[in-house]
Structure 1
Amino acid sequence: MLMKKLFIGTLLFVSAFNVFAQNKNITISGNVVEEATMQAIEQATVQLYSLPDSAFVGGAATLSQGAFTLPKVQAGRYALKVSYIGFQTKIIPIRLSNSRLNHNVGTVSLLSDAIMLSEAVVTAEAPPVTIKADTVEYNASAYRVPEGSMLEELVKKLPGAEVSDEGKITINGKEVKRVMVDGKEFFSDDPTVSMKNLPVEIVEKIKAYDRKSDMARITGIDDGNEETVLDLTVKKGMKRGWIGNFIAGYGNKERYEAGGMMSRFQDDATFSILGSANNTNNRGSSEFGDSGQGLGGGGGGNGFGMGTGVTTARSLGMNFAKETKKLQIGGNIQYGYSDNDVQRKSVTETFLGEQSSFENSNNSSRRKRNDVRADFRLEWRPDTMTTLIFRPNGNYSTTDVINESDMRTFGNEYQPVNKKGSNSISKSDNYSFNGRLQLFRKLNNEGRNLFVGGNFGYSDGDTKSDSHSETNFYKDGNEDTAIEYDRHTNRTNDSRNWDVSVAYTEPVFKNHFLQTRYEFSHRKRLSQSLVSDPDSMMANGYVESLSSRVENFYDTHTAEVSLRGIHPIAMYNIGIGANPQSSLSKTSIGPNSNKQLPEQNVVNISPNAMVRFNFSKQHTLVFRYRGRSEAPNIEDLQDVIDQTDPLNIRYGNPNLKPSFTNNMMMFYNKFVPDVMRSYVFNLFYTNTINSVANQMRYDVTTGKRIYDRVNVNGNWNANGFFSFNTPLKNKKFTLMSGTNVAYSDAVSYTSVGNMDAQLSTTHNLRAG
């Protein structure tokens, strides 16, 4: 059982219970330092055990300057254990007597940890970073974190790694989508669970690599569906039984935090149960999102652009995985609860050519949410030539939201333009169920194989809301007109989709393979919003001009062909795909009901290319290009999108053109074993031709904004990352550096009054 500690404020709660004899009047104190530098070690663990039974008596963590003082004990024989991540544990026998009530053990120095590199013959400190092909491997013991830390604290110290306040993880410029344990999935695609609940003490290594899809992994067909993962290697000593940890803390302003985990890690199986509760914005799992679309965890965001606020969260989860020679099964079930309270004041200025618009707003939001999610996966290999994979998942969520806001808009000379007060209350229920079935068959040992697969998905959401709004407009500094309404809105979203696909790979000549794939997908989506207003005409029980009911149908064919070549030093893949798509929109309620769009038929083209140079197992260079054309979203083609808010009217554009996106990437990795030096250099570039953006028309007299969807050019972004790691000559210190630079341009149009629309470009530069 691993025991952890957590500080909140100035109060330390230690989860241990012991029975002490009378006359506990002897105090033990001392200091803990690094032996090599004599620098103090904070947060080292100091534990006292009685002899000869080795029963735990008490413990503490070192404070500033490495000082510690243990709870008072009785006279007798004891063993003092001092430990810290990255250092060798030291055990000191001591004898206490009543003649000396203050026992100072002096300065305890800890040696840097050493790892055996070859059969107990030669020992050396393992390099902090090694590179093997496309995998960057981090040695956990090379990075010091406080005793009792969770995985998140270790990841933050890895060169090239960043963890945002919202819990988003990036490594070497790429976002991490999944955390695995010994190659097995751990709580599916929710890395927040691992980051917040797995203790650092169990981790030996962390591997970062791009995990290919099931199809690419089994057939070798590069379908472009890869994700960056962190794969944890559990220490051998942690696989001998059950391990667990419990943390708890309480601080001022009634802040509290508690959590625990019990796990059993084996080479062929894992099982974990975990739970947490806190009101410190430290959510132990991500929210699963409406209809299964994840919202991300850690920050307590409420989904309405309100900011973080204060979040009370509770979570409970179970994960399992089992592997045999022919069968791999696994899955998890999670429950999450969050109560988010946000108060926000903001002052904004919007630049409108030679003029500006100013806005002062006060907003408050209270949001309560419950989520339940279950995932299951099965991979069956009845023989060496056949693999069957089945992955179903489902989730359900309920959300209650109360919003209040007060907003005032001022013109260029800070004269009042309008003011708006509003409040609303809503309740949402969402559920979804999805599944994937895939069959892979190798037809020979020369690279010929066949794939057949299918996916299905269903989601349904219902939201009922009541809102009140009062908007006042000014003229010459005085209130002129007012708009007030009370509305009830019933929104329904229903989505159903399925697809079938087949792929075939044929060796065509030496070291070359021809890969073909065909897929047909069908998707149906219903979006309905019925708005009732007692002050308006409601012949059918709702306001026709504010309501809508739209059914969208999509049928897509995908045909792809590619040629793959494999050579000792280089591997390349070049291909092209065609995606004929037909879409139809049927509007039966709302302002667009008399303006039916014709059926849209487009052909999207998707070229791709990749070349990889393997100079050695620890020296690689990869170039990758993907192009994708995409038809406009069918909702953006509607004449009227939303006019429920009199200050923000949104229109579509039936003349939108398809967009085309270019993605280019370069990855360079090199590791020099002799000097344990590593280099990582990644580049990313994306630009979109005919991307869809908003063109805003601003009325200076009322402050009303009208948004039209238009095609724009000039949107692009570039991102570069460089990491360098090398030990110094004495091998006791390592120089680690990581640099990230990102630049982007975002284009939009703005017009004021009757003026022509002006092009504006937002430049964004970030470096760190």
Structure 2
Amino acid sequence: MLKKLSLALLLLILSYCSFAQTNTISGVVKDTTENKFVHNAVVALLSQQDSILITFARTNAQGTYSLASVPHGKYIFMVMHPSFADYVEDKEIDATNSSQPMIAVTPKSKLLEAIIIQSGNPIRIKGDTTIYTADSFKVSANANVEELLKKMPGIQVDKNGTIKAMGETVEKVLVDGEEFFGDDPGMAVKNLRADAVKEVQVFQKKSDQAEFTGIDDGQSKQTINLKLKEDKKKGYFGKIDAAGGLQNDIADRYNTNFMFSSFKGKRKFSSFLLTGNTGQDGLSWQDMERYGSTGEMSMEMTDEGGMMFFSRGGDSDGEPYINTRDGYIKNINAGLQYSNKWNDTKTFNISPKFNSQLYDNNKLNFTQTRIGDSLLNENATTNSLVDRYNFKTNASYEIKIDSNNTLKLTLGANIYHTESDELRRANTTGAKGNLINTSNRKLATTSDREALNGTALFKHKFKKARRTLSLNASWNMLNNDMENYLQSDNQSFDNGVPVLNQQQNQLRDIEKQTTVFSSKLVYTEPLNKDFSLELGHEVSLNNGTNNQVTYTYSNTTGKYDVLVDSLTNNFDQRISIQKPSVKA
């Protein structure tokens, strides 16, 4: 009994100690030269081990501060204010030092100029943003920004290039507040020189919708903004890949990639040219961000009034999918991207691209099927040839009319041409090798598609916080003209004797058009500090036609002029949707 009581007492003491290993520390910051308390100074604690920011507070009008629930340990203690020299010291927090001695700071105007320059004010906190002065951290000559970040307390870069700031993974790296050739965090830190950076700013960036409405949607991202020196806001970088190999039974393999990007101020320009016959049919998603564009991305308004972006992928606008891992493909890809921003109020982007593919594939298939006691063996060869090209152009223009109103226009035009031929030969035999069926089929298709789209997004913020109005309108049109020739010959056998023959020689002419117009109006009204009301209404109009006419070849006229009613149709489609919404 005594042992159990002693054990329980020991556990209680340990539990008390574990809960008591934090302190609330407080103190006063004072300007001793004028004998005044310093208001709005930042008092921060950083871990000595990895310089991660643990906690911080601001002094009130009486110069006092309080840092609650500080774990015992060793820290870097910092006091920062724009008008005073930084105060930095190593400090150990334990149960005996809850009340800190008065911190005396000196106005910068009282310091010698040489001392101010040498100090460099390496780290300061402004609101929710931690700011590093880049020149205060020494790196080797010609080092890139990645090496600079590794020197900064609170920022870590691992061997894979993943960046963490204040213990959180950095998802965005901006340059002067703008994306740098896409949203890949490694893009800027690996391609910009360290000596081009004036400041490194670390903060939580809210989503575009949250910044617009003022309603926090919890979608913030840890972000680094690189503020460049005025004389360093220009540069260029690129990538060249070339590979090849000699082959015996097939055409020699080769692949070349040429990519180039440049920037000057807010202007960015990229270009790429890819050629080869190894199966590469476009930029990788990483290179698409760097040298291509986000033109393959579409946008639509969500039910919450926000914007959702999604990729249309490789079969955009209904184009047939080609598996480049099968067969041989010869491709040419070329594209340009230009973007610029003027006076921080007007932004323009345009991205034209060209793609050409010649695809050749030969397949051998063996299929065995058991039906009851019978066994059927099919041997088939399929020869496919696809020759196609497309032109794609996407452009956007955004204007900030004033501090409360913005308008963004987006236009896209895609043109596709495809010619394909497929020849399939097959024979089916029984278990003893007796011939049961032969089949020959030839399919030839010519297709032309045009896809046009446009969107307009208007956003308005009222004087009252979180009261907003947004209107999104979009228009899409897809035209498809196709000619499909089918020739087939199927012969059945009974004990090796032909018994039934079926032949087809048809032309199918297809014309399709789809037009979709949609718009959505969203209004948000704050109800109190924590809740808002959202009213929305969406209108969608969908018009479509599908005309398909099938003809059989006439031996008499030598033309495809015999109508096949069962394979001919003419459809018209009209769909309208009204979708009101209320959310709180």
TM range (shorter): 0.5 to 0.7
Residue 435 of structure 1 aligns to a residue whose secondary structure is strand
TM-aligned CA distance change 1:429 to 1:502, over 3 Å: same
SS at match of 1:545: helix
**Correspondence 1:263 to 2:261:** yes
TM-score by length of 2: 0.56
C-alpha RMSD of matched pairs (Å): 5.1
Distance 1:405 1:89, change over 3 A: farther
Deviates more, 1:327-336 or 1:235-244: 235-244
CA-to-aligned-CA distance 1:200-258 (integer Å, 9 cap, x gap): 953899xxxxx9997676347899xx9xx9x9999979964233333333321322222
Who is 1:388 aligned against? Answer: 407
Give the deviation of 1:510 after TM superposition. Answer: 2.8
CA distance in 1, matches of 2:390, 2:224: 27
> 1:379 & 1:181 partners in 2: Cα distance?
18
Q: How far apart in 2 are the matches of 1:181 and 1:458? A: 38
User: CA offsets per residue over residues 596-649 of structure 1, 9 Å max, x none?
Assistant: xxxxxxxxxxxxxxxxxxxxxxxxxxxxxxxxxxxxxxxxxxxxxxxxxxxxxx
Following superposition, the deviation at residue 477 of structure 1 comes to: 7.0
Deviations along 1:708-757, whole A, 9 cap, x unmatched?
Answer: xxxxxxxxxxxxxxxxxxxxxxxxxxxxxxxxxxxxxxxxxxxxxxxxxx
Matched, 1:562 2:580: no
Q: Label 1:392 to 1:220 Cα distance change in 2 as closer, same or farther (>3 A).
A: farther
Quote the Cα distance in structure 2 between the aligned partners of 1:200 and 1:391: 30
Query: CA 1:550–1:527 in 2, change beyond 3 Å: closer, same or farther?
Result: same
Q: Which has the higher helix share?
A: 2
Shift of 1:418: 4.0
Gaps of 5+ in 2: 1-138, 195-204, 289-294, 297-309
Alignment of 1:335 with 2:335, yes or no, is no
2:280·2:324 contact (CA, 8 Å) conserved in 1?
no
Structure 1 spans left out of the alignment, 5+ residues: 1-87, 92-112, 141-179, 206-210, 564-768
Determine whether 1:323 maps to 2:341.
Answer: yes
Q: CA separation in 2, counterparts of 1:352 and 1:200? A: 64
Q: Which one of 523, 537, 540 corresponds to residue 518 of structure 1?
A: 537
- Secondary structure of the 2:565 match is coil
For residues 430-441 of structure 1, the aligned pairs below 5 Å read: 430-441=449-460
Give the 3 Å change call, closer, same or farther, for CA 282–487 of structure 1 in structure 2: same
**CA 1:450–1:235: 2 relative to 1, 3 Å:** closer
Amino acid at match of 1:451: S
- 2:386 and 2:421 in contact (8 A); partners too: yes
Q: Which residue of 2 aligns with 1:528?
A: 547
2:364 corresponds to 1:345: yes
CA contact (8 A) 1:247 1:260 kept: yes
Contact kept, 8 Å, 2:176 with 2:228, in 1: the verdict is no
Cα pair 2:510 2:549 within 8 Å, conserved: yes
Counterpart of 2:520 in structure 1 is 501
Deviation at 1:519, TM superposition (A): 0.8
Report the CA distance between 1:427 and its aligned residue: 1.5
List per-residue Cα deviations over 1:524-580 (Å, max 9, x = no partner): 1112221111259999852111222222221112222222xxxxxxxxxxxxxxxxx
Letter in 1 for 2:490: T
**CA spacing shift, 1:135–1:200, aligned 2, 3 Å:** closer
Change (3 A) 1:247 1:126: closer
- Please give the per-residue CA displacement for 1:77-106, whole angstroms capped at 9, x wherever unaligned: xxxxxxxxxxx9999xxxxxxxxxxxxxxx
Cα offset for 1:365? Answer: 0.9
Separation (CA, whole Å) in 1 of partners of 2:192 and 2:369:
49
Partner of 2:566: helix, strand, or coil? coil
Distance 1:337 1:242 in 2: 28
Which structure has more RCO (C-alpha within 8 Å, separation ≥ 6)?
A: 1
Report the counterpart of residue 717 of structure 1 in structure 2: none
Distance 1:116 1:465, change over 3 A: closer
Residues 1:250 and 2:260 aligned together: no
Deviation of 1:187 after TM superposition, in Å, equals: 8.8
Q: Specify which of 320, 324, 331 is matched with residue 313 of structure 1.
A: 331
User: How far did 1:295 drift?
Assistant: 5.3
* Partner of residue 583, structure 1: none
Distance 1:560 1:420, change over 3 A: farther
Structure 1 residue 512: deviation in Å? Answer: 0.7
Match in the other structure for 1:202: 191
| Residue 372 of structure 1, CA deviation | 0.5
C-alpha distance in structure 2 between counterparts of 1:326 and 1:201, whole Å: 29
Over 3 Å counting, the alpha-carbon distance change for 1:448 and 1:414 in structure 2 is farther
Match of 2:566 in 1: 545
Alignment of 1:1-150 (within 5 A): 115-117=148-150, 126=158, 128=160, 129=162, 136-137=169-170
Deviation at 1:115, TM superposition (A): 4.5
TM-superposed CA distance for 1:308, in Å, is: 2.6
**Counterparts in 2 of 1:541 and 1:553: CA distance versus 1, 3 Å:** farther
Question: 1:328-727, aligned counterparts within 5 Å?
Answer: 328-348=347-367, 359-408=378-427, 418-475=437-494, 479-534=498-553, 541-563=562-584
| Matches of 1:417 and 1:212, distance apart in 2 | 69
Shift of 1:276: 1.8
Does the C-alpha gap of structure 1 residues 131 and 383 become closer, same or farther in structure 2, counting only changes over 3 Å?
Answer: same
The residue correspondences of 1:209-288 to structure 2 (distance < 5 A) are: 218-219=212-213, 240-253=234-247, 254-266=252-264, 268-285=266-283
Compute the displacement of 1:320 (Å). Answer: 1.4
Cα distance in 2 for partners of 1:352, 1:133 equals 67
Contact 1:497 1:522 in 2 (8 A): yes
Q: Note if contact 1:498-1:521 (Cα within 8 Å) is conserved in structure 2.
A: yes
Output the amino acid matched with 1:556.
I
* Contact 1:311-1:339 within 8 A present in 2 as well: yes
The answer to whether the Cα contact below 8 Å between 1:285 and 1:336 also exists between their aligned partners in 2 is: no
Counterparts in 2 of 1:268 and 1:541: CA distance versus 1, 3 Å: same
Q: Kindly provide the amino acid, as one letter, of the partner of residue 573 in structure 2.
A: N
Partner of residue 169, structure 1: none
Q: Distance in 1 between matches of 2:453 and 2:206?
A: 21
Query: Matches of 1:232 and 1:427 in 2, distance apart?
Result: 50
Amino acid at match of 2:512: N
The residue type equivalent to 1:527 in the other structure is: N
Q: 3-state DSSP class of the match of 2:580?
A: strand
Residues 343, 364 of structure 1: 8 Å contact kept = yes
Contact 1:450 1:503 in 2 (8 A): yes
1:296 alignment partner, one of 306, 310, 314: 314
* Secondary structure of 1:241's aligned partner: strand
* Structure whose alpha-carbon radius of gyration is higher: 2
With over 3 angstroms needed to count, the CA separation of the structure-2 counterparts of 1:200 and 1:212, relative to structure 1, is: closer
Determine if contact 1:419/1:471 at 8 Å carries over to the other structure.
yes
Contact map agreement 1:333 1:374 (CA 8 A) in 2: yes
Q: Report if aligned partners of 1:181, 1:232 keep a CA contact under 8 Å in 2.
A: no
Distance 1:131 1:277 in 2: 37
Give 1:467 deviation, angstroms: 2.3
8 Å Cα contact 2:417/2:448 also seen in 1: yes
TM superposition shift of 1:483: 0.7
In structure 1, how many angstroms separate the alpha carbons of the residues matched to 2:271 and 2:224? 18
Which amino acid counterpart does residue 333 of structure 2 have in structure 1?
S
Closer, same or farther: CA 545–317 of 1 in aligned 2, 3 Å: same
3-state SS in 2 of match to 1:407 = strand
8 Å Cα contact 1:485/1:535 also seen in 2: no
Pairing of 1:149-168 with structure 2 (within 5 A): none
1:425: how far off? 2.0
